[in-house]
Amino acid sequence: MLRAPFSIHAAASLAPFTLPFPAPLRPPELSISFAILEPTMNRNPIKLAARAAVTALGFASAVAFAHGDVTPQAVDTSKLPPLAAPVDKNPYVGNPEAIKLGSSAFNQNCARCHGLGAVSGGIAPDLRYLPTDQPTDEYFKGKVQNGAVRNGVTYMPAFKDVFKEEAIWAIRSYLVSVHVED
Ligand code: HEC
Which atom of ligand 1 has the smallest separation from the CA of 155?
Answer: 12
Give the mean pLDDT of the chain.
76
Nearest residue (by CA) to ligand 1, atom 42, is 156
Q: Which pLDDT score is estimated for 86? A: 98
State in Å: Cα 153 to ligand 1 middle: 13
State in Å: Cα 30 to ligand 1 middle: 27
pLDDT digits (tens, 9 = 90+) for 99-136: 999 999 999 999 999 999 999 989 899 999 999 999 99
Q: Which pLDDT score is estimated for 44? A: 53
Q: Is residue 150 scored above 60 in pLDDT?
A: yes
Cα 115 vs. chain centroid, distance in angstroms? 4
For the Cβ of 100 lying below 6 angstroms from any atom of ligand 1, the answer is no
Q: Which residue has the higher pLDDT, 28 or 150?
A: 150
Which atom of ligand 1 has the smallest separation from the CA of 140?
Answer: 29
Q: Which pLDDT score is estimated for 72? A: 82
For the Cβ of 144 lying below 6 angstroms from any atom of ligand 1, the answer is yes
3-state SS, the chain, equals CCCHHHHHHHHHCHHHHHCCCCHHHHHHHHHHHHHHHHHHCCCCHHHHHHHHHHHHHHHHHHHHHHCCCCCCCCCCCCCCCCCCCCCCCCCCCCCHHHHHHHHHHHHHHCHHHHCHHHCCCCCCCCHHHCCCCHHHHHHHHHHHHHCEEECCEEEECCCCCCCCHHHHHHHHHHHHHCCCCC
% of the chain surpassing 90 pLDDT: 57
Q: Which pLDDT score is estimated for 111? A: 96
Q: Which pLDDT score is estimated for 71? A: 78
Q: Which pLDDT score is estimated for 125? A: 97
For the full predicted model, state whether its pTM sits above 0.85. no
Q: Which pLDDT score is estimated for 41? A: 41
Which atom of ligand 1 has the smallest separation from the CA of 129?
Answer: 26
Q: Is residue 66 scored above 90 in pLDDT?
A: no
